[in-house]
């Protein structure tokens, strides 16, 4: 037998009992540690426990001794092992490990796995051992490097599905028979554990007293900069790693109220430990950890009293964790015990008890990012468990505490809002300051992460929605974000400093507003949540009304046209909750929408965003710097658009459904500032214009694009999930080839829908839309394959309206059109050289509640607007880009498609006299079929104009080689000037020449008007403007007999005009005309050569003019009347006219080369003396003129000299040309496509 087991060496009880406490400890210390451990273990097993172990522990764990003393820690290990070595003891304890969860805790940069197929919570993660031991074949998983630390969730059925558990963890393991842990094995651990934890608490308290530092300004990270605690905490961590049996012992010590009470009550009043504890209690609720003042309002609620009073060790431990700003080693140790349910519940209660202090710690921490990561490291382990989160919410007000903490952070950084009232005379609204460090450093994200985590549990989401106080508190928080990061358009000079605060603003709205919103909506799709939705909609309407009062925005007011904010979270909440009410609960839309006056107010700010987007892309905000364009791009970026731009568009669609359509259309046109452009009054279109003429076309296109989006985007109008993803999922694939990782990153919306469902949808889209192209393997690196759209995508799923709404750059839309054109030309054998128009689609697959949106295309103002646009395109403004025309034609098709089935009971073909700018009074009906037959003979304008101006405004000129060459039938009419009593002054009519407003004819032949829409479907799906205009006329022809009669008459009239005009614009006629032109050029060239030959052959005395006239009498007749040029963009050969000028491509470069000229070209020998060189340099043109300028400036005024001197010698221009010609309108369209 070994000496360590010899009983003769064990101290006798009588010898120990006869000595004093100090002598006993000294004697035991001298004995071998194994023998002492065996003796103490024997002592505690007796019925009457002696004080030997407590006395010895008091000696070993005396606060006066260093906490990192190796001998003390080693003695503790021997005592806990009870005579065994510490390693042997650990192995024996692990044999009784019955834990069903892994619980491995890791820190930053640890490599772990996340399986989306198995995960229930998006925060789920597992260690490498558990992943490799489980079956994840064919799953959607990834390996990642942890950013803030985490813990393995293997075995936790509330976080991941049991199918993903490894063989060592899960409920199947708990059903196995585990032997009961022998009491004597854990006896020493159970006795020693409270003392071990209390020694750590004594050290925390003592540190502040010894340092003598004020609790207000304590250096909280000082004690973690050395290794004092590393050995001691590592010792405790080694105990936790022994498994479930030891973790239960440690948990019991942490929650033992008697042990904590005795540790404080047994202190002698005059002892140092008692003094330190008294200081700790005195400062605990003063300077220890402050809590937000907004919590005092709720202190009467259970567990909401913020005064800290501790009854267990774990509660004080949590205090020091926050006080020391979440030291990593201590956090890791405490998290390692979470697999024990007893500990987990007590730890969670203590954590919630201190949660109100978290917002203060996050705002005042020295290293905010580190503290945030470690805080989330704790909270995510607690709140991902649904049963525990629900318990904390119901019994400890977890949800209220989180929202109050977040609200405190936002209230502390509020500033007065300048929205609608820059002088702040009547605006009492306050908004968060996006330039503050709290916003820039995202200090709020840990609290928001916890809110999203708890709201992911259905029961907690319902608790939130059914508590009116919580809803009002949350809307107050959103109210502080309404109108944040306000932009004011610079009109005079460029901003000196471009702020980058918009990053913080967009991140804040996405994280604090949108993410919780999607979590709530996800749990509101069952019948039992119907009332929750209605209550939320009503509360949001009240909150919006309060916000309008705060910013002093009345129902008759319009937003400041020079202000822009992209952040309207309450508007988006209203839109999204109405959407879910219709989609999941089949509610009555009209009753849910606000009353008309409030709805008009709600409409204005989302509409202002749409107007400013058009202005930004038109370059009207260029003086605000590149950051304003960055905001516009972020607004429609895929991670933000579902929660921001799509929600705003849906809200505008709701407004269009309930409001009067004429009011809605007119308001949109007024906000886009194009009413003056639509006017037929010359003074209105020039002097009184509020928008630069260079930007007019962009604003007209913006208004048309918005109408197309309102009528064509159906993201929230009742589509199924897969239907909504088809055009969206194919957006990137239409603009370029993409890799699998890029596709998943960009296609899946950030709206917190179940991850596995999204992955299934994406995979379904891949099979439907794409085919895989293997990579080209090249030496030197790995490459990924790419996905390419199938041909059916371009024919069936390509939605230009959606792509234009998602296109961050204009070149993205152009890239999609280029690929579409390439497909049509290759697959459909398209031969024309004209540009293809986008293949707009008409889809009325919307929920019945939203069908009122189509009232927009059945209103008089819309028809008058389209008439004015197309009439100006033909008669007044030849520079209108093609994009305006195809949007107008598309909306016309919508007007016809959704027109009433019955024809109005009135006489068709009326001759109308209308008032300028009163678009809602131009036509007598809202039916496009009837309005297309009416004739607008005169537009009454409020300013008298001359007969010549009237004739020029009403004249029709041809559009060269355009698809809209004969868009309107214009008949000559006598000019008239009338006066009306409607105005105080004279009203003059702008003659339009009896124009059938929507009778557009651009057909290859007269017979095309008899085609039906059915014949179009059998032909190529796609074409140029001529194709789509013909298709519209065919539909109009078949839809109305009156319209067909007018179209027939117009075709006959046009055919007669074509006979008189010569070659037509059809393909065959184009070829004939080009051949005829070539023939004329050849004849002219031949005649010129013949003339030159005859002149050289004749005698010198013969007059050259007579010779030319006699030898080439037809030369002049064969010369073309005007020189023609080949446009390098559209490839058309046309002469340069005033209506469509042609320009030469020239490169201009500033140069001072003329200043180096000399009056004579004398060549000098190489060897020049200094005087000769100086004389040569001073005789240059530049030097001579500089001396002249100096003399003049001495005797005359500067301004007079500048006007009288030519500075070409110093500021000349070098012109170079490549010889190419361009149409000016083609050049402008090309530049616009590059923006």
Full DSSP string of 953-1007:
HH---PPTT-TTTT-S------------TTSSS--EEEEEEEE-TT-----SSGG
1032 pLDDT above the threshold of 80: yes
Give 915's contacts (C-beta < 8 A, 6+ positions apart).
Answer: 921, 939, 940, 982
Find the range with the poorest average confidence among 366-375, 988-997, 1083-1092: 988-997
pLDDT, position 123: 77
**Cβ(155)–Cβ(383) below 8 Å:** no
Longest Cα–Cα distance of the chain, Å, equals: 158
CA distance 686 to 657: 35
> What percentage of residues in the chain have a pLDDT greater than 90?
29
In this prediction, residues 778-791 reach a mean pLDDT of 70
pLDDT > 90? residue 764? no
To which residue do tokens 């809002």 refer? 417
Give the bridge partners for 143, in sequence order.
Answer: 113
Query: Helix 445-455 to helix 398-411 angle, to the nearest 10 degrees?
Result: 150
- What's the pLDDT at 948? 46
Q: Is the pLDDT of residue 767 over 90?
A: no
The answer to whether the pTM exceeds 0.85 is: no
Can you tell me the distance from the alpha carbon of 650 to that of 1132, in angstroms, rounded to the nearest whole number?
43
pLDDT band of 747, cuts 50, 70, 90: very low
User: How high is the pLDDT of residue 1225?
Assistant: 86
3-state secondary structure of 106: strand
Cα-trace Rg, the chain: 42
Dihedral, 846, 851, 854, 856 alpha carbons, nearest 10: -130
Predicted local distance difference test score (pLDDT) of residue 116: 84
Q: Can you list the alpha helix ranges (DSSP code H) found in 1163-1221?
A: 1170-1178, 1181-1195, 1198-1204
pLDDT at 173 (0 to 100): 64
Poorest-confidence range of 415-424, 807-816, 883-892, 1002-1011?
1002-1011
pLDDT at 741: 46
Task: Give the model's pLDDT for residue 573.
Answer: 97
Cα distances from 442 to residues 150, 406, 505, 848, in angstroms, run: 20, 12, 10, 42
pLDDT band at 977 (very low <50, low <70, confident <90, very high): very low
Residue 1200 CB contacts under 8 Å (≥ 6 apart), including other chains: none
Q: How far is CA 1021 from CA 402, 705, 839, 897, 1016, in A?
A: 56, 22, 8, 18, 8
Which of 194-208, 569-583, 693-707, 949-963 is least confident?
949-963
Is residue 662 pLDDT above 90, yes or no? yes
CA distance 674 to 689: 9
How far, in Å, CA of 614 to CA of 621, rounded? 10
- Tell me how far apart the alpha carbons of residues 972 and 955 are, in angstroms, rounded to a whole number: 9
The CA-atom distances, in angstroms, between 1089 and each of 375, 596, 774, 1083, 1111 are 92, 80, 61, 10, 11
CB 947 within 8 A of CB 984: no
Q: 3-state DSSP call for residue 1167? A: coil
* Phi (first) and psi of residue 992, to 5 degrees: -110, -5
- Chain centroid, CA 46 distance in Å: 70
Pick the closest to residue 1066 from 955, 966, 971, 956 (CA basis): 966
Task: Specify whether the CB–CB gap between 154 and 134 falls below 8 A.
Answer: yes
The neighbour count for residue 171, using CB atoms within 10 Å, is 11
Question: Which residue reads 């500048």 in tokens?
Answer: 1202
Least confident of 162-171, 702-711, 1108-1117, 1118-1127: 1108-1117
Better-predicted residue by pLDDT, 710 or 53: 710
Task: State residue 761's pLDDT score.
Answer: 56
* Residue 967: closest CA among 898, 834, 877: 877
Alpha-carbon 675 to chain mean position:
32
User: What is the model's pLDDT at position 303?
Assistant: 75
Distance CA 1146, CA 125 (A): 63
Higher pLDDT, 918 or 1063: 918
416 confidence band (pLDDT: 50, 70, 90) = very high
Res. 621 pLDDT band, cuts 50 70 90: very high
Angle ∠(800,802,808) on CA atoms, nearest 5: 100
Which range of 587-596, 1134-1143, 1162-1171 scores highest in mean pLDDT? It is 587-596
Average pLDDT for the chain: 78
Q: Classify strands 935-941 and 911-915 as parallel, antiparallel or unpaired.
A: parallel
SS3 200: helix
- pLDDT value for 1102: 45
DSSP codes of every residue in 876-896:
T-TT--HHHHHHHHHHHHHHH
Which one has a higher pLDDT value, 1119 or 118?
A: 118
What pLDDT, on the 0 to 100 scale, is given for residue 956?
A: 36
pLDDT(212) > 50? no
Average pLDDT over residues 1193-1201: 81
Place of tokens 């009906």: 925
- If one compares 573 and 422, the residue with the highest pLDDT of the two is 573
pLDDT per position as a tens digit, 437-459: 999 988 899 999 999 999 989 99
- Whether residue 791 is predicted with pLDDT greater than 50 in this model: the reply is yes
Burial class (CB in 10 A: 0-12, 13-18, 19+), 342: middle
Task: Write down the H helix ranges in 1018-1066.
Answer: 1025-1039, 1041-1061
Sequence-distant (6+) residues with CB within 8 A of 499 are 435, 627
Res 884: pLDDT: 92
Share of the chain above pLDDT 70, in %: 75
Q: What are phi and psi of 255, to 5 degrees?
A: -105, 10
The answer to whether 919 touches 944, Cβ cutoff 8 Å, is no
Q: CA 44 → CA 47, 188, 577, 897, 952, distances in Å?
A: 8, 8, 65, 92, 114
Which of 309-318, 892-901, 947-956, 1225-1234 is least confident?
A: 947-956
Cα 40 to Cα 187: distance, rounded to the nearest angstrom: 10
- Distance between CA 348 and CA 332 in Å, rounded? 15
The answer to whether 717 and 847 are in contact (CB under 8 A) is: yes
d(CA 47, CA 55): 18
The predicted-structure confidence for 258-281, as pLDDT tens digits, reads as follows 999 988 887 777 788 888 888 888
């Amino acid at each position: 037998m070994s000496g360590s087991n010899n009983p003769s060496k064990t101290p006798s009880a009588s010898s120990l009992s006869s000595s004093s406490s100090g002598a006993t400890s000294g004697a035991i210390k001298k004995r071998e540690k194994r023998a002492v451990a065996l003796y103490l273990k024997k002592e505690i097993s007796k019925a009457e426990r002696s004080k030997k172990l407590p006395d010895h522990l008091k000696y070993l764990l005396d606060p006066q001794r260093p906490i990192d003393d190796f001998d003390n820690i080693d003695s503790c290990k021997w005592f806990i092992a009870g005579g065994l070595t510490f390693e042997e003891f650990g192995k024996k304890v692990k044999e009784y490990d019955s834990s069903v969860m892994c619980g491995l805790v890791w820190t930053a940069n640890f490599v772990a796995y996340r399986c989306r197929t198995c995960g229930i919570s998006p925060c789920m993660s597992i260690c490498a051992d558990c992943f490799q031991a489980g079956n994840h074949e064919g799953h959607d998983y990834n390996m990642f490097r942890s950013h803030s630390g985490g813990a393995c969730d293997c075995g936790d059925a509330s976080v991941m599905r049991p199918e993903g558990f490894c063989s060592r963890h899960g409920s199947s393991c708990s059903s196995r028979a585990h032997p009961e842990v022998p009491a004597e094995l854990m006896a020493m651990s159970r006795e020693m554990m409270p003392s071990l934890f209390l020694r750590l608490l004594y050290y925390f308290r003592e540190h502040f007293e010894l340092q003598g530092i004020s609790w207000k300004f304590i250096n909280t990270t000082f004690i973690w900069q050395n290794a004092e605690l590393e050995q001691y905490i590592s010792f405790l961590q080694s105990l936790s790693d022994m498994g479930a049996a030891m973790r239960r012992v440690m948990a019991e010590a942490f929650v033992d109220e008697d042990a904590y009470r005795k540790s404080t009550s047994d202190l002698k009043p005059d002892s140092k430990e008692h003094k330190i504890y008294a200081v700790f209690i005195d400062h605990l609720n003063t300077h220890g950890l402050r809590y937000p003042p907004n919590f005092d309002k709720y202190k009467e609620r259970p567990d909401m009293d913020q005064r800290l009073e501790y009854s267990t060790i774990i509660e004080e431990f949590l205090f020091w964790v926050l006080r020391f700003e979440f030291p990593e080693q201590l956090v890791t140790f405490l998290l390692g015990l979470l697999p024990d349910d007893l500990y987990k519940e007590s730890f969670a209660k203590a954590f919630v008890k201190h949660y109100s202090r978290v917002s203060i710690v996050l705002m005042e921490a020295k290293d905010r990012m580190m503290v945030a990561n470690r805080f989330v490291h704790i909270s995510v382990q607690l709140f991902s468990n649904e049963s525990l989160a629900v318990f904390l919410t119901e019994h400890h007000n977890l949800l209220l505490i989180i929202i109050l903490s977040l609200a405190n952070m936002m209230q502390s950084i509020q500033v007065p809002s300048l929205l609608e009232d820059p002088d702040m005379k009547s605006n009492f609204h306050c908004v968060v300051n996006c330039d503050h460090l709290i916003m820039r450093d995202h200090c709020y994200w840990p609290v928001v992460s916890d809110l999203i985590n708890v709201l992911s549990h259905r029961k907690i989401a319902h608790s939130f929605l059914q508590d009116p106080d919580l809803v009002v508190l949350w809307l107050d928080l959103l109210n502080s974000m309404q109108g944040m990061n306000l932009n004011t358009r610079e009109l005079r000079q460029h901003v000196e400093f471009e702020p980058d605060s918009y990053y913080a603003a967009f991140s804040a709205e996405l994280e604090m507003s949108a993410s919780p919103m999607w979590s709530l909506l996800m749990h509101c799709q069952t019948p039992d949540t119907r009332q929750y939705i209605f209550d939320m909609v009503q509360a949001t309407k009240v909150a919006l009304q309060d916000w309008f009062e705060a910013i002093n925005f009345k129902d008759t007011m319009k937003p400041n046209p020079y202000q822009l904010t992209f952040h309207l979270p309450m508007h988006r909440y209203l839109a999204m909750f109405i959407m879910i009410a219709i989609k999941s609960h089949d509610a009555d839309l009209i009753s849910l929408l606000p009353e008309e006056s409030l709805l008009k107010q709600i409409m204005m700010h989302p509409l202002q965003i749409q107007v400013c987007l058009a202005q930004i892309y038109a370059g009207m905000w260029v003086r605000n710097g590149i950051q304003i364009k960055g905001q516009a791009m972020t607004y429609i970026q895929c991670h933000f658009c579902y929660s921001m731009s799509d929600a705003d568009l849906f809200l505008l669609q709701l407004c269009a459904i309930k409001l009067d359509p004429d009011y809605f259309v007119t308001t949109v046109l007024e906000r886009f500032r194009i009413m003056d452009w639509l006017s037929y009054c010359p003074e209105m279109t020039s002097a009184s214009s509020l928008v630069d003429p260079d930007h007019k076309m962009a604003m007209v296109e913006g208004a048309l694009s918005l109408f197309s989006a309102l009528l064509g985007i159906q993201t929230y109008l009742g589509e199924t999930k897969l239907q909504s993803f088809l055009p969206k999922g194919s957006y990137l694939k239409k603009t370029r080839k993409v890799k699998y990782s890029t596709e998943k990153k960009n296609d899946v919306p950030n709206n917190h829908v179940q991850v596995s469902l999204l992955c299934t949808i994406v995979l379904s889209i891949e099979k439907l839309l794409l085919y895989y192209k293997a990579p080209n393997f090249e030496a030197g690196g790995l490459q990924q394959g790419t996905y390419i759209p199938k041909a059916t995508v371009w024919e069936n799923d390509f939605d230009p309206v959606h792509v234009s709404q998602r296109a961050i750059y204009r070149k993205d839309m152009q890239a999609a059109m280029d690929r579409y054109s390439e497909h049509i030309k290759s697959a459909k054998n398209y031969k024309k050289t004209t540009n293809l128009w986008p293949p707009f689609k008409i889809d009325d697959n919307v929920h019945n509640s939203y069908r009122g949106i189509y009232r927009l295309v059945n209103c008089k103002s819309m028809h008058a607007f389209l008439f004015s646009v197309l009439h100006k395109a033909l008669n007044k403004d030849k520079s209108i880009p093609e994009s305006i025309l195809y949007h107008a034609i598309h909306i016309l098709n919508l007007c016809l498609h959704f027109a009433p089935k019955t024809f109005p009971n009135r006489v068709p073909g009326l001759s109308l006299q209308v008032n300028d700018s009163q678009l809602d009074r131009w036509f007598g009906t809202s039916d496009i079929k009837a309005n297309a037959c009416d004739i607008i003979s005169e537009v009454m304008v409020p300013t008298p104009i001359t007969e010549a101006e009237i004739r020029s405004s009403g004249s029709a000129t041809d559009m060269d080689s355009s698809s809209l060459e004969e868009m309107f039938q214009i008949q000559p009419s006598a000019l008239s000037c009338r006066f009306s009593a409607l105005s105080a002054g004279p009203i003059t009519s702008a003659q339009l020449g009896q124009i059938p407003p929507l009778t557009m004819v651009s057909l290859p032949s007269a017979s095309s008007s008899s085609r039906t829409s059915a014949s179009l479907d059998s032909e190529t799906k796609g074409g140029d403007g001529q194709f789509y205009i013909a298709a519209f006329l065919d539909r109009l022809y078949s839809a109305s007999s009156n319209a067909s009669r007018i179209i027939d008459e117009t075709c006959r009239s046009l055919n007669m005009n074509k006979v008189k005009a010569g070659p037509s614009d059809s393909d065959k006629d184009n070829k004939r005309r080009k051949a005829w032109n070539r023939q004329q050029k050849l004849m002219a060239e031949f005649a010129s050569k013949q003339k030159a030959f005859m002149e050289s052959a004749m005698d010198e005395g013969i007059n050259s003019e007579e010779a030319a006239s006699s030898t080439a009498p037809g030369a002049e007749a064969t010369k073309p009347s005007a020189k023609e040029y080949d446009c390098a963009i559209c490839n058309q050969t046309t002469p340069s006219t005033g209506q469509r000028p042609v320009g030469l491509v020239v490169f201009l470069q500033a140069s001072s080369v003329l200043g180096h000229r000399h009056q004579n070209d004398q060549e000098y020998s190489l060897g020049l003396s200094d005087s000769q060189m100086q004389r040569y340099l001073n005789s240059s043109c530049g030097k001579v003129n500089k001396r002249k300028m100096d003399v003049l400036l001495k005797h005359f005024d500067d301004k007079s000299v500048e006007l009288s001197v030519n500075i070409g010698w110093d500021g000349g221009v070098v012109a170079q040309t490549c010889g190419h010609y361009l149409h000016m309108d083609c050049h402008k369209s090309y530049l616009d496509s590059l923006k």
